[in-house]
Amino acid sequence: MSSTDLRQTPLHALHVELGARMVPFAGYEMPVQYPSGILAEHAHTRAAAGLFDVSHMGQAFLEGPDAARRFEALAPTDVATQPIGRLRYTQLLNESGGVLDDLMVARRPPRKAGEELLFLVVNASRKEDDFAHIRRLLPDLRLGELGDRALLALQGPKAASVLARRWPKLVELPFMGVASGAELGETGADYLVSRSGYTGEDGFEISLAASEAEVFARSLLREDEVRPVGLGARDSLRLEAGLCLYGHDLDETTSPVEAGLLWSIPKRRRAEAGFPGAARILREIAEGPGRRRVGLRLEGKAPAREGAEIVDRDGAAIGRVTSGGFGPSVGAPIAMGYVASAKAAIGEAVDLVVRGKKLAARVAPMPFHPHAYFRGP
Amino acid sequence: MSQLRYSKDHEYIRLEGEIGVVGISDHAQAQLGDVVFVELPKIGTQVVQGGEAAVVESVKAASEVYAPASGEIVAVNDALESQPSLINEDATGKGWIFRIKLADARELDALMDEAAYQEFLKTEA
């Protein structure tokens, strides 16, 4: 794809002005890092507040009669009893229980009597396929892609105090809570704010009109605690937090059980079984999956990247690394990958094959860096 | 002759007598970003011009370092094991990677001088 085919987010000019290195990502020209560099941006997010442009992600409304329960036919989550004002993480599944995408779902107050309204945020790389899939399976519901909206994330221990200067009520928003700008006392523009993110830190994701995004981003960057953070640190932060990246740690062959995402499938859905691939997923719940996503800590300093083969200490292949690199806050190389369940116990000694050499590693608990989500005042 | 000669793979070599000091260019370190690990060659290894000799890993990716000239590795920069960021801070000085005893100094004639390398970077952009 040539650079002229790449789409730009509403903050493109600001990224360039800030000196970002722009790279192609999921069809968009995105900032991979700013002049301070990935390590500094990573550390700043863990210590203060990092501002991320994630406007490439797909935002959409799904609405119509009984939209919540209807959506449950596509994903093993509980939207039917999900309160308005809560955000949930789930996966779109194929008929064999593989993950088509992972996404966030919020319920919002319906815009028409007798209807229900869901707000969805999906991965940039998957959005066209996801929206086609939803339209195909739920043709009588209305899916409205919000292509005219930006999405910003403010992440880190200072994120709440920074945003509270604008919206004092925000400090009370629970982890995975959602509030509109109006609920926060905003009189003008139409914001949707959730206490969520992809870094393991406390933080917020803010959906707003594309036309408002640059002014809003500049206002945050004027705060002492806030610095811009690119996709490079977004990746190292989420890896340390043990969070999956679609297309790497999740794909159409992996099930949520193998991926260690069973916590996102509530009891009612397991009991009722009405979701794609339920036969495989319920069997894996009962019998255990054949392979599991695990964390890996390397004993040396050399990192292992995606694709590295994982072998047991007898040299037998047991799996592959799906994400790996240097963990800046851990101060050592870390990775995640899938291994045969018999070799998935914490502490299991394995080798990761990098450039023909075996790097000693151990199966390790995730997250690699402790989560610091908001757990109440 | 202490000036740098550059390869198209963005390595530099600086001649000190019959020894060539090798690293990656300042442009290359800026492109890579924060270096977090360097896989150094073993002393005594024979390398050929254009052959893989070391690996520099940034947060994002691993990049091979190719030998800009043939010869025997006679020294490696051990300081990079504890301080790989020396490559970012001073790529052509304290961030050197290895030293080669050159097999044939005439190989350096095929490399670019500073002015030619700066021109080459414009064509790559």
Q: Do A37 and B34 touch (CB under 8 A)?
A: yes
Q: What is the pLDDT of residue A2?
A: 53
Q: Which of residues 62 through 121 in chain B touch A, CB cutoff 8 A?
A: 62, 81, 88
What is the total count of domains within chain B?
1
Residue ending a domain, among A287, A310, A333, is A287
For every residue of A16-42, DSSP letters joined together read HHTTPEEEEETTEEEEEE-TT-HHHHH
- Clarify whether residues A148 and A233 are in a common domain: yes
User: What is the arithmetic mean of pLDDT over A31-49?
Assistant: 97
Residue A246 and residue A304 in one domain: no
Flag whether A372 is in a domain: no
**Quick one: pLDDT band at residue A238, thresholds 50, 70, 90?**
very high
What are the E-state strand segments in A131-210?
142-145, 149-155, 178-180, 192-194, 203-209
Lowest mean pLDDT among A362-366, B14-18, B77-81: B14-18
Q: What share of chain A is helix, strand, coil (3-state, %, to 5)?
A: 25, 35, 40
A302 and A172 within one domain? no
When pLDDT is averaged across residues B107-122 and rounded to a whole number, the result is: 95
Chain B residues whose CB is inside 8 A of the A301 CB are 37, 81
A 55-84 → B contacts, CB under 8 A: none
Residue A374 lies in a domain: no
Tens digits of per-residue pLDDT, A169-214? 999 999 999 999 999 998 877 999 999 999 999 999 999 999 999 9
Q: CA of A114: how far to CAs of A63, A66, A83, A193, B68, in Å?
A: 10, 8, 17, 25, 72
A238 lies in the same domain as A280: yes
Predicted pLDDT at A370: 97
Q: What distance in Å separates the CA atoms of residue B13 and residue B35, rounded to the nearest whole number?
A: 20
Chain B interface includes A35 (CB < 8 A):
no
Average pLDDT of span A262-281: 97
**Mean pLDDT for chain B?**
95
- Chain A's closest residue to B80, CA to CA, is A301
Regarding whether A315 and A237 lie in a shared domain, the answer is: no
Least confident of A7-21, A39-53, B2-16, B66-80: B2-16
- The overall average pLDDT reported for chain A is 96
Q: Is the pLDDT of residue A3 over 70?
A: no
In terms of domains, do A295 and A283 share one? no
| Residue A349 within a domain | yes
A173/A234 Cα distance (integer angstroms): 23
- Number of domains into which chain A is organized: 2
Same domain, A222 and A311: no
Instruction: Report the share of chain A in percent with pLDDT over 90.
Output: 97
Q: Using the beta-carbon criterion (under 8 Å), do A328 and B59 form an inter-chain contact?
A: yes
Chain B residues whose beta carbon lies within 8 Å of the beta carbon of residue A23: none
pLDDT in tens, A85-142: 999 999 999 999 999 999 999 999 999 999 999 999 999 999 999 999 999 999 999 9
pLDDT at B1: 43
Please report the pLDDT score of residue A115 as a whole number: 97
Q: Is position A198 within any domain?
A: yes
pLDDT higher than 80, residue A251: yes
List of chain A residues whose C-beta atoms are within 8 Å of the C-beta of residue B88: 37
CATH number at A75 reads 3.30.1360.120
On whether both A132 and A111 belong to a single domain, the answer is yes
Q: Which of A256, A287, A318 is the last residue of a domain?
A: A287
Residues A99, A242 within the same domain: yes
Residue A242 lies in a domain: yes
Q: How confident is the model at residue A312 (pLDDT cuts 50, 70, 90)?
A: very high
Q: Could you tell me if residue A37 is inside a domain?
A: yes
Any domain includes B125: no
Using one digit for the tens of pLDDT, what is the confidence trace for A288-310?
999 999 999 999 999 999 999 99
Instruction: Name A205's bridge partners.
Output: A153, A194
A1 pLDDT exceeds 60?
Answer: no
- Please answer yes or no on whether A301 and B37 come within 8 Å at the CB atom: yes
Q: Are residues A137 and A162 in the same domain?
A: yes
Distances in Å between the alpha carbon of A72 and those of A68, A131, A275?
7, 15, 7
Strand pairing class (B71-76; B98-102): antiparallel
In degrees, to the nearest 5, what angle opens at C-alpha A198 toward C-alphas A234 and A354?
A: 55
Contact criterion met (CB below 8 Å) for A351 and A337? no
* Domain assignment of residue B124, yes or no: no
Hey, what are A229's tokens?
Answer: 């953070």
Identify the CA nearest to A73 among candidates A93, A59, A56: A93
The CA distance from A370 to A130, in Å, is 32
Does one domain contain both A102 and A185?
Answer: yes
What's the whole-number mean pLDDT along residues B41-64? 95
A334 touches B: beta carbon within 8 Å: no
A377 within domain boundaries = no
Give the CATH number of the domain where residue B37 resides: 2.40.50.100
- Residue span of the structural domain in which A247 resides: 1-287
pLDDT over 90 at B122, yes or no: yes
Buried b (16+ CB within 10 A) or exposed e, A260-296: bbbebbeeebeeeeebbbbebbbebeeeebebbbbbb
DSSP A191-219: -EEES--SSSBSEEEEEEEHHHHHHHHHH
How does residue B2 score in pLDDT terms, banded at 50, 70 and 90? low
For residue B117, the SS3 value is: helix
Confidence (pLDDT) at A376: 82
Contact A305 B62 (CB under 8 A): yes
Burial classification of residue A89, based on how many CB atoms lie within 10 Å of its CB (0-12 exposed, 13-18 middle, 19 or more buried): middle
User: Do A314 and A267 reside in the same domain of the chain?
Assistant: no
Given a cut of 60, whether residue A272 has pLDDT beyond it is yes
Going by C-alpha positions, the residue among A344, A346, A352 that lies closest to residue A302 is A352
Output the domain CATH number for residue A351.
Answer: 2.40.30.110
- Whether A370 maps to a domain, the answer reads no
| B59 contacts A325? CB cut-off 8 A | yes
Q: Which domain, by its residues, includes B97?
A: 4-119
Q: Taking a C-beta distance cutoff of 8 angstroms, is the pair B73, B44 a contact?
A: yes
